[in-house]
């Protein structure tokens, strides 16, 4: 299975689809795809701060949306590429620490630890696509090598 530029485009489009799927109130309905993807960037002007309510750090719902959209999109693209059902599990505590697991059958394809969810983001859209493609490529290789485990 070849991971290429089309896969990068498919992945970024799926991230947008996931964001739109979570936008149940239509808040971002009129925003373009590129504008939605810019929410995933972190820089000097959009460096998110941790929220502190009564000595307790809370996770910004926007940060959680970004994490859900990004990793669910990974699972969808891996599933499309392999034709093997995948599931994405995101476990996050109320302080923004947790992990993400994308699996198929009994095979773990992606296992990522998240620390400080409020700071989740990427330097550029190219970096976002590159990191996603790297995980898609590794997951695809695992599926090819251990397909029988994925089908259990």
Per-residue pLDDT tens digits for 100-118: 999 999 999 999 999 988 8
Asked whether residue 46 carries a pLDDT value surpassing 80, the answer given is: no
Q: How many CA atoms lie within 13 A of 122 on its CB side?
A: 16
Tell me if 120 sits within 8 A of 67, measured CB to CB: yes
Cα separation of 116 and 124, whole Å? 19
Distances (CA, A) of 33 to 18, 38, 61, 74: 11, 9, 20, 17
Q: What average pLDDT score do residues 63-84 get?
A: 95
pTM for the whole thing? 0.86
Asked whether residue 51 carries a pLDDT value surpassing 60, the answer given is: no
Q: What pLDDT, on a 0 to 100 scale, did the predictor assign at position 3? A: 54
Q: What pLDDT, on a 0 to 100 scale, did the predictor assign at position 5? A: 81
Homologous superfamily (CATH) for 3-41+57-149 = Protein of unknown function DUF269 (1.10.3100.20)
User: pLDDT band at residue 42, thresholds of 50, 70 and 90?
Assistant: confident
The domain spans of the chain are: 3-41+57-149
User: pLDDT band at residue 80, thresholds of 50, 70 and 90?
Assistant: very high
């Amino acid at each position: 299975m070849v991971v290429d530029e089309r896969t990068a485009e498919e992945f970024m489009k799926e991230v947008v689809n996931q964001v739109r799927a979570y936008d149940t109130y239509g808040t971002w309905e009129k925003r373009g795809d590129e504008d939605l993807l810019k929410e995933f960037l972190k820089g000097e002007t959009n460096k998110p701060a941790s929220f502190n309510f009564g000595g307790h750090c809370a996770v910004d719902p926007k940060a959680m949306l970004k994490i859900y959209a990004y990793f669910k999109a990974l699972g969808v693209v891996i599933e499309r590429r392999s034709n093997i059902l995948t599931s994405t599990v995101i476990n996050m505590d109320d302080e923004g620490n947790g992990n993400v697991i994308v699996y198929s059958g009994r095979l773990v394809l992606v296992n990522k630890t998240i620390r400080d969810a409020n700071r989740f983001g990427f330097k550029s859209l190219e970096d976002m696509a590159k990191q996603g493609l790297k995980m898609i490529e590794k997951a695809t290789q695992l599926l090819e090598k251990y397909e029988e485990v994925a089908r259990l």
